[in-house]
Structure 1
Amino acid sequence: MRSQTEHANVCLYSCFLSQVVPKNISEALQDNSWIEAMQEELLQFRKQEVWKLVDLPEGENAIGTRWLYKNKPDERGIVVRNKARLIAQGYTQEEGIDYEEVFAPVARLEAIRVFLAYASFMKFKGFQMDVKGSFLYGPITDDVYVRQPPGFEDPEYPHRVYKLSKALYGLHQAPRIWYETLSKHLLDHGFTRGQIDPTLFMKRENEDLLCVQVYVDDIIFGSTSPSMCKEFEEIMKSRFQMSSMGEINFFIGLQVKQSAEGIFINQSKFVEKLLKKFKMQDCQTIRTPSDVNCKIQPDPKGKSVDQTLYRSMIGSLMYLTASRPYIMYAVCVCARYQSDPKESHLVAVKRIFRYLKGKPNLGLWYPYEGNFELYSYSDSDFGGCALDRKSTTGGCQFLGPRLVSWQCKKQTNVSVSTAEAEYIAASAGCSQVLWLQNQLLDYMFNFLKTPIYIDNTAAMFITANPVQHAKTKHIEIRYHFLRDISEKGLIILIKVHTDKQLADLFTKSFLSGWFEFLIGNEIFQNGIQKKSQSGPNPNRTHIPHYV
């Protein structure tokens, strides 16, 4: 419990910060808090020698600038910082004239979850850091000119412009320049870059390993040796100015809680924000995100609804699946009708929000106990899409009891049999398993004969049969790589009973009892940590479908 002194300090600190975000520069200049925030940003520019005031050369174009304002809250929602950022209006840049190459790698969400799963298995703490003004560290080689920041024009030379020597937020080439600057700094200090994931950097000392995962300017890291973490902090401080360091608690929208039993990942704050945004905070709750007896289908005679609202709801829910995989099937089915949504489709989307209202704190649970073996589940429905009768592929991948990856996607071809649909789904799951196998090589894990559990014997026979007979020759060649990978011993297909198929979560709807049992399968938690078993067991008995 927080003491009265701490409460008083929070209240006192909040008095010096603005709680209202200004809409434009005129409003910002009327508030001393935001004036100080803008001056702090410009001070960083001066320290980093970002630009130089010059006359605009003839024939050159000056890019406009604008201010962005944002309140930075802590995990309790209390504003702890007023952040003003000056950005360049990069949309006025022309490719081939103002910039050439702009691509910069960004970490996949699966890579973030693999990092956290590895941290839970090795039982070490994960830390995060944020580079202050990260884009300002990258030298820019092109001649780029920007106008003076609004509200802070030089009174003596109001018509001059700034020539950039460092990248500025908003420029197309800024992310690439920052990645090159950061990666060069790490490689110069003995780090190695991941063979598959270029945003993963590793450093080994004897038996200890330091892992660094980069998401633009947000960095998480951890090591089996605390001294290596200290060394990494010093390496970063020697080149960059860090604005925050500490244990991982909030990273790219994911809330991460590290306890004595494991790591809990959820997005309860985001759920609360969504319910408020779409005015669903007072709705009645429901036990499942989709109705098992009512499949969503085209409704040409139904009343149309606002496309912008519908697409906004779908996009928000898709981001929520980063820690709530069991709503993915319902969201993906609703997403198929974004071009012309009807009232019946909006009702289905609102049902997902009603479910979230009753279960706002559920998330992924990565226990410290348990093995670190890679295995996968693969499943498919047959002709489930009411639009074109295409099947849906579902799959999920585990590292011991830790769910790190999942898929739900409508297949590109119409399958003529259940065996074909299951075979194509197994091929998609195999692709994800291969990516994970290669990703885990950087963590010094070499997995061979990774088991993929499927519930269709015919699909297993097609994989084992090297003869192209009449009933399988129509299947596209790209799906037959599953057979080749199986022969090489990288994966192995294992039969699992339909009642024990965890990938069913991504291909169909369930009755409330069965659904609640699946998501309570030692994988998810409601914010309460408990000791876990070694992982989901495909051979144990589940409750029947009719419960």
Structure 2
Amino acid sequence: RHKKKSDGSFERYKARLVGNGANQQTGVDCGATFSPVVKPATIRTVLSIAISKSWCLHQLDVKNAFLHGNLDETVYMHQPPGFRHPEHPDYVCLLKKSLYGLKQAPRAWYQRFTDYVAKMGFCHSISDHSLFIYHHGNDLAYILLYVDDIILTASSNALRDSIMSKLGSEFAMKDLGPLSYFLGISVTRHSRGLFLSQKKYAEEIVERAGMSSCKPSSTPVDTKAKLSGSSGNPYHNPTEYRSLAGALQYLTFTRPDISYAVQQVCLFMHDPKTQHMSALKRIIRYIQGTINLGLHLYPSSVNKLISYTDADWGGCPDTRRSTSGYCVYLGDNLISWSAKRQHTLSRSSAEAEYRGVANVVSESCWIRNLLLELIVLLRKLHSYIVTM
């Protein structure tokens, strides 16, 4: 496997010993396997707080993270090819630590990391279990964990260096310096704040679709016609459709402008038609023309949370269910957004709007609780209904 740099260039080769856990059964061969990862809204919230308080954002990478996990079960493994004992080729290995490929490996690593940072004085957030918070007097620090990638920010350089030293003494870690590239997202710091971009990832999607030389579109969706799942001819390659639609979902991490359009094409992943593929290609044409767009985060007040919501009424031509959307701002920074079809029918436009309000209030309450855990006190919490 090739390890690449943030610009896509080759960095180094990677190889590792992997166990075959495909036949493991949960509850028999292993216990809990679920391992939480940090939510996108949490990442944007912590980044907004850090730049507003002029804190340094640091990035760490844990080397062979899954090998640090402790196994609670008895697991045997065949001797790896090329390393068999010449006198005992039929012997098997008893694993003392978790290994890549085991179903419990992600959970074991997360539990090991959680236990250690708890000894350092961190507590994991109730709102997001992959966020760890250190608060002692005037000292404050946050750790965001996404499998083996870590973002660390602290109220002082001395506290940050102390935390990095303790983590480095327990785990094999690579100091990547100031935050610049995280989860395929380029992070650029400038005099006015941060710019989050997925340009390289967007270019890969356009190239994968074979549309590198396509004509750009000025909008991501045709607002005149609604997509239907009951008309049109089946698309000849549904796997390609699902692959591109799934790739576009991750692009919405920094591109709220395509959130609604991507939500629409994802409704038909089970049985895509040719018209659905045309709508998906329109999104890609729009991305081709707006490849440099991303998300800006500015230093601003973090004591004000404002949310906006809107909904149509019976917009789905097949089910007549409504679609609602919202966006939430922390100060001047957009930290959360969503476009989603409602689960039930609304008998009036007012009912559709109220369901949209319920969604955004739920998200706002979650963010408020998250901010309270981050020792950020809100002075204003407003929600607005957008009517057209």
Same fold (TM over 0.5): yes
Match of 1:97 in 2: 28
Please list the CA deviations of residues 426-461 of structure 1 after superposition, one character each: whole Å capped at 9, or x if unmatched.
0010110111011111221233661001135xxxxx
Match of 2:112 in 1: 181
Match of 1:252 in 2: 183
Match of 1:125 in 2: 56
SS of equivalent residue, structure 1 residue 378: strand
Q: Within 1, Cα distance between the matches of 2:14 and 2:233?
A: 46
Please list the CA deviations of residues 12-44 of structure 1 after superposition, one character each: whole Å capped at 9, or x if unmatched.
xxxxxxxxxxxxxxxxxxxxxxxxxxxxxxxxx
Match of 1:113 in 2: 44
> Structure 2 regions of 5+ residues with no counterpart?
none
Say if 1:279 and 1:434 are closer, same or farther in 2 by CA, change over 3 A: same
Match of 1:78 in 2: 9
Match of 2:130 in 1: 199
Q: Within 2, Cα distance between the matches of 1:141 and 1:455?
A: 53
Please list the CA deviations of residues 317-365 of structure 1 after superposition, one character each: whole Å capped at 9, or x if unmatched.
1111111111011111112222222211111100000011111111110
SS of equivalent residue, structure 2 residue 270: coil
Say if 1:343 and 1:144 are closer, same or farther in 2 by CA, change over 3 A: same
Please list the CA deviations of residues 53-108 of structure 1 after superposition, one character each: whole Å capped at 9, or x if unmatched.
xxxxxxxxxxxxxxxxx211112222111111222111111223211222222211
Aligned residues: 388
Q: CA deviation at 1:367?
A: 1.1
The question of 1:355 aligning with 2:303 is answered: no
Q: Within 1, Cα distance between the matches of 2:87 and 2:173?
A: 34
Match of 2:162 in 1: 231
SS of equivalent residue, structure 1 residue 90: coil
Q: CA deviation at 1:305?
A: 2.8
The question of 1:365 aligning with 2:296 is answered: yes
Contact 2:58 2:153 in 1 (8 A): yes
Say if 1:301 and 1:251 are closer, same or farther in 2 by CA, change over 3 A: closer
Counterpart code for 1:245: L
Match of 1:273 in 2: 204
Q: 1:322 aligns with which of 253, 270, 275?
A: 253
Q: CA deviation at 1:207?
A: 2.3
Kindly indicate whether structure 1 or structure 2 has the higher relative contact order, using CA contacts under 8 Å at least 6 residues apart: 2
Match of 2:213 in 1: 282
The question of 1:213 aligning with 2:175 is answered: no
Say if 1:325 and 1:110 are closer, same or farther in 2 by CA, change over 3 A: same
Match of 2:173 in 1: 242
Please list the CA deviations of residues 168-196 of structure 1 after superposition, one character each: whole Å capped at 9, or x if unmatched.
11111111111111111111112222232
Contact 2:7 2:200 in 1 (8 A): no
TM-score with structure 1 length normalisation? 0.69
Q: Within 2, Cα distance between the matches of 1:446 and 1:122?
A: 14
TM-score with structure 2 length normalisation? 0.96
Please list the CA deviations of residues 503-536 of structure 1 after superposition, one character each: whole Å capped at 9, or x if unmatched.
xxxxxxxxxxxxxxxxxxxxxxxxxxxxxxxxxx
Please list the CA deviations of residues 253-272 of structure 1 after superposition, one character each: whole Å capped at 9, or x if unmatched.
22211222201111001011
SS of equivalent residue, structure 1 residue 92: coil
The question of 1:340 aligning with 2:271 is answered: yes
Q: Within 2, Cα distance between the matches of 1:304 and 1:103?
A: 35
Q: Within 2, Cα distance between the matches of 1:76 and 1:372?
A: 36
Q: Within 1, Cα distance between the matches of 2:134 and 2:234?
A: 58
Q: Within 1, Cα distance between the matches of 2:304 and 2:95?
A: 50
Structure 1 vs Structure 2: percent identity of aligned residues? Answer: 37
SS of equivalent residue, structure 2 residue 264: helix
The question of 1:439 aligning with 2:350 is answered: no
Q: Within 2, Cα distance between the matches of 1:392 and 1:202?
A: 36
Q: CA deviation at 1:156?
A: 3.5
Counterpart code for 2:77: V
Contact 1:138 1:167 in 2 (8 A): yes
Contact 2:302 2:378 in 1 (8 A): no
The question of 1:416 aligning with 2:361 is answered: no
Contact 2:226 2:316 in 1 (8 A): no
Contact 1:299 1:344 in 2 (8 A): no
SS of equivalent residue, structure 2 residue 30: coil
Counterpart code for 2:206: L
Match of 1:305 in 2: 236
